[in-house]
Structure 1
Amino acid sequence: MPSQEWQSDLMDCSPCGTCMMASFLPCMVFGKTSERLRDPSLSDYSPINGDCFMISALGSIGLGWLFLMNKRGDIRKKFHIEGSTCGDCCVSFWCPCCVLIQHENEVEGRTDYGPINTGYQSQAQNMGMK
């Protein structure tokens, strides 16, 4: 599969709720995005989960950006997004809130439960009718 670009911009601070959560409770946004990667429906989602705890623990000693950088690489690999480890390192270190928002928007947009850009599709088209 050919490489793609990020669908959501790094500096896109919407939706407002995700922006606020990334600013004040970043561990919860990280945990939600990680869970969405495992289960796009979020059927068994808990706001406080292992990834939330891990990034909080690492963040408390100034190393949360490392876990964020690693997750960014995972997202890039899963969705065949262009980029590099060096780029992941830089954005995760210098703008972690922006990265959290981009990750959440990207993963939500690339799963079946929240596409970013699907456009209009009639019901007949969705049902395989012509």
Structure 2
Amino acid sequence: MASLNNASWSSGLCGCFDDVGGCCLTFFCPCVVFGRIAEIVDMGATSCCASGTVYAALASMTGMGCLYSCGYRSRLREQYRLKETPCGDCCVHWFCEACALCQEYRELKSRGFDMALGWQANMEKMGKTMAPQTHAGMTR
């Protein structure tokens, strides 16, 4: 049976020369890169700060930030119907965490996202409107 996910990634797993700035940010501050990816993939449902903090806590206390981040790679692939290459999402993150985060960051940038802006500002920049977010307990 043919896979529904057959689109190619915009760059390879080891394509850091395509975005040296993003790779440096990933090397020095992977929690920031992951937080930005998570906010875009979750379409603003989670904040960059919250996701990055959870990632940093997991990575520093257990060394297992990759178990959290691999789920976002799977979501990203599903959203854009990307191939699961070069191997499974968890394997990519387990063995090449920094390369995986860099590739995901580049992928979202290649799709028009300004990663420093976050979800809401990107939607405004792209001219897309979103329904106002309601929060529990807010009434008029």
Deviation, 1:57, is 1.1
Tell whether the 8 Å contact from 2:5 to 2:78 is kept in structure 1 after alignment.
Answer: no
Cα gap change, 1:88 to 1:113, in 2 (>3 Å): closer
Tell whether the 8 Å contact from 1:91 to 1:99 is kept in structure 2 after alignment.
Answer: yes
- The CA distance in 2 between the partners of 1:73 and 1:3, in whole Å, is 14
Q: 1:29 aligns with which of 26, 29, 33?
A: 33
- The CA distance in 2 between the partners of 1:2 and 1:89, in whole Å, is 17
- The CA distance in 2 between the partners of 1:2 and 1:96, in whole Å, is 22
- The CA distance in 2 between the partners of 1:68 and 1:80, in whole Å, is 18
Deviation, 1:113, is 3.9
- The CA distance in 1 between the partners of 2:77 and 2:99, in whole Å, is 16
Q: Tell me the equivalent position of 1:42.
A: none
Q: Tell me the equivalent position of 1:56.
A: 56
The within-5 A match list for 1:39-118 is 49-60=49-60, 61-83=62-84, 87-110=88-111, 112-113=112-113
Deviation, 1:3, is 2.4
Q: Which aligned runs of 4 or more in structure 1 are off by greater than 2 angstroms?
A: none
TM-score by length of 1: 0.71
Deviation, 1:62, is 1.3
RMSD: 2.1
Structure 2's unaligned 5+ residue stretches are 115-140
Matched to 1:89, the amino acid is: C
Q: Tell me the equivalent position of 1:11.
A: 14
- SS of 1:49's partner is helix
- The CA distance in 1 between the partners of 2:51 and 2:36, in whole Å, is 9
TM-score by length of 2: 0.67
Query: Deviation string for 1:20-70 (max 9, x for gaps)?
Result: 11111100011112223325xxxxxx7x61110111111111110101111
Tell whether the 8 Å contact from 2:31 to 2:52 is kept in structure 1 after alignment.
Answer: yes
Tell whether the 8 Å contact from 1:69 to 1:89 is kept in structure 2 after alignment.
Answer: yes
Tell whether the 8 Å contact from 1:36 to 1:108 is kept in structure 2 after alignment.
Answer: no
Structure 1's unaligned 5+ residue stretches are 40-45, 115-130
Deviation, 1:7, is 1.4
